[in-house]
C-alpha cells in the first residue's frame, strides 16, 4: 500500500508541537522518556562521530515518490554548504518512516528517498564517497507504538508519528578531507613519470582542441565554484598526461596552497576534457605531461577563475 506510506510521510510539512527535546537530551512523550543521540545543527562547529542532525522543517518528497519537493531545496542547499565547509565529514543519510502499515514498501521508499537526497548533494558537487544512503523504513522509531497507543488524543498520536518520520544525517568519519587529499595528490611514481615526459623534446607539443584560449574557455565554463565564507583564494597545481591517443589520464594534484575544499571537482574538469591532439616526436604521436596551475579567486560571493600559464 505505497499510497498510505507516502501520504503519511507528506504530513511532515506541518510543524511539530507537544513533543519536545529537552536540554538534557531526552524526548518527552507524555510521561515517557526516550534517550536521544547527541545532536548538532548546520551552524555547529563542534561535533563528533555519531552526532546526528535532524532537519526541521523536514525534507519533503512528492506523494508516493522519491522526488524532493522544491519547498525543501533551500534546506538541501544549507546541507550542501555545511558539507562543503566541513569537508572532512563522511555522513550517513538515513530516512525513517512511522509504524503504520506498509512494511516492505516503506523500507523500499525510504531507501529510494535516501538515495535521492544523496544524489541531489552529489549533483551540486559533494563527493559520492562522503555519503552513505540508508533507508530504515519503520525499524527505528523514536517513539514506540506502545507509547503512542497510550496517548489520549488523535492529534497527540499524529504528532508522535510525525516525530518518527524523519531524515537523520549522522557523522560517520571526520578525516575524509585528509584521506581524500592523499588520494588526489600525485604519488612519487606519477610525479616522476610526469617529470620524465617533460624532459623530452617534441616536434609538436600536445594541443587542446582550438588551442590555449579554448582550453581556458573550457576551464572557466566547466569549473563550478561556489563562494564560501572564510576562503579567499586557492591555487591548485595539477599534473596530467596526454597519451599518444590524445586522452588525458593520471590526473593528480601536486600541491594545493590554502586548499579550497573541492579538490575532486577540480580534477573532474580535467578528467572530462575532450580529446587532445597528441604531441609528436619523429613524426609519431607520443605521450606528454602537463603542469597546470589553477588559481581560484573568491570574493564577496562572486566567483572568479584565473588559469595561469
Instruction: Specify the pTM.
Output: 0.55
Domains observed in the chain = 2-176 (3.30.1330.60), 185-307 (3.30.1150)
The predicted structure's pLDDT at residue 305: 44
3-class DSSP string for the chain? CHHHHHHHHHHHHCCCCCCEECCCCEEEECCEEEECCCECCCCCCCCCCCCEECCCCCCCECCCCCCECHHHHHHHHHHHHHHHHCCCCEEEEEEECCCCCCHHHHHHHHHHHHHHHHHHHHHHCCCHHHEEEEEEECCCCCCCHHHHHCCCCHHHHHHHHHHHCEEEEEEEECCHHHHHHHHHECCHHHHHHHHHHHCCCCCECCECCCCHHHHHHHHHHHCCCCCCCCCCEEEEEEEEEECCCCCEEEEEECCCECCCCCHHHHHHHHHCCCCCECEEECCEEECEEEEEEEEEEEECCEEEEEECC
The predicted structure's pLDDT at residue 184: 80
pLDDT digits 0-9 by tens, 48-81: 999 999 998 889 888 778 899 999 999 999 999 9
pLDDT digits 0-9 by tens, 161-205: 888 889 999 999 988 766 767 778 888 888 888 888 888 889 999
Amino acid at each position: 500500500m505505497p499510497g498510505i506510506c507516502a501520504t503519511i510521510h507528506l504530513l511532515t510539512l506541518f510543524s511539530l508541537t507537544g513533543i519536545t527535546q529537552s536540554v538534557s537530551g531526552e524526548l518527552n512523550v507524555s510521561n515517557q522518556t526516550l534517550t536521544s543521540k547527541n545532536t548538532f545543527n548546520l551552524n555547529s562547529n563542534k561535533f563528533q562521530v555519531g552526532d546526528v542532525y535532524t532537519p526541521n522543517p523536514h525534507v519533503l518528497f512528492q506523494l508516493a515518490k522519491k522526488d524532493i519537493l522544491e519547498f525543501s531545496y533551500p534546506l538541501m542547499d544549507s546541507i550542501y554548504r555545511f558539507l562543503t565547509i566541513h569537508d572532512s565529514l563522511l555522513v550517513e543519510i538515513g530516512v525513517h518512516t512511522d509504524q503504520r502499515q506498509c512494511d516492505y514498501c516503506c523500507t523500499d521508499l525510504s531507501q529510494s528517498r535516501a538515495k535521492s537526497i544523496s544524489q541531489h548533494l552529489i549533483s551540486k558537487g559533494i563527493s559520492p564517497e562522503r555519503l552513505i544512503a540508508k533507508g530504515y523504513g519503520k525499524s527505528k522509531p523514536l517513539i514506540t507504538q506502545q507509547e503512542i497507543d497510550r496517548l489520549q488524543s488523535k492529534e497527540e498520536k499524529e504528532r508522535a508519528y510525525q516525530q518518527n518520520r524523519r531524515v537523520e544525517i549522522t557523522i560517520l568519519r571526520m578525516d575524509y578531507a585528509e584521506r581524500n587529499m592523499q588520494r588526489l595528490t600525485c604519488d612519487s611514481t606519477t610525479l616522476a613519470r610526469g617529470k620524465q615526459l617533460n624532459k623530452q623534446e617534441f616536434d609538436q607539443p600536445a594541443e587542446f582542441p582550438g588551442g590555449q584560449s579554448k582550453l581556458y574557455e573550457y576551464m572557466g565554463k566547466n569549473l563550478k565554484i561556489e563562494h564560501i565564507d572564510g576562503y579567499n583564494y586557492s591555487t591548485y597545481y595539477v599534473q596530467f598526461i596526454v597519451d599518444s591517443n590524445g586522452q588525458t589520464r593520471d590526473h593528480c594534484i601536486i600541491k594545493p596552497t590554502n586548499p579550497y575544499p573541492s579538490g575532486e571537482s577540480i580534477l573532474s574538469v580535467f578528467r572530462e576534457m575532450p580529446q587532445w591532439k597528441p604531441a609528436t616526436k619523429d613524426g609519431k604521436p607520443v605521450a606528454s605531461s602537463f603542469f597546470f596551475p589553477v588559481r581560484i579567486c573568491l570574493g564577496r560571493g562572486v566567483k572568479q577563475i584565473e588559469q595561469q600559464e
